[in-house]
Amino acid sequence: MFAISLFLSLLAIFAANFLGMNPDGGYIYWWYDIPMHIAGGAWVAAAFLYLARKYEWISRIAKPTIFTTLAVVLLVGIGWEIFEYSMDILVFRLHTLSTVPLYILIDSLHDLANDLLGAAIIWWILRRRFIA
């Protein structure tokens, strides 16, 4: 049942992200990126906790502690930021590798902080269910 909830929540995040996008790749509202990253971080953390509980080999490699959960979310978040950055350069042609403005770095750090916030919240909510 939790796997179905994970899948449906992922679809909801994708739908909300799609509905909040402008045709140029930005969001309709400046603040829309914040709840998207909080939800994304929470989803990755919940998926990690679920998978670590379901598959013993995952919990042997990475025990589902708060630190490991945050590290997994941070790794996925960095990957997402690299994806966003490459989309800005290759698809939307907003920047080149040599002309990236400072706000891109600040925005990426803010996004990662929101990913970690969502992960910490969901870890606190699910800790008794998934942490032995």
Pick from 32, 108, 122, 35: nearest CA to 77: 108
Can you tell me the distance from the alpha carbon of 7 to that of 9, in angstroms, rounded to the nearest whole number?
5
Can you tell me the distance from the alpha carbon of 108 to that of 105, in angstroms, rounded to the nearest whole number?
5
How far, rounded to the nearest angstrom, does the alpha carbon of residue 109 sit from its chain's CA centroid? Answer: 13
Q: Which tens digit of pLDDT belongs to each residue from 111-127?
A: 999 999 999 999 999 98
Q: Which tens digit of pLDDT belongs to each residue from 55-91?
A: 999 999 999 999 999 999 999 999 999 998 888 788 8
pLDDT of residue 25: 66
| Cα 23 to Cα 40, 62, 118, 121, distances in angstroms | 21, 40, 27, 32
**Residue with tokens 């870890």, as numbered in its chain:** 123
Please tell me what DSSP assigns to residue 27: B
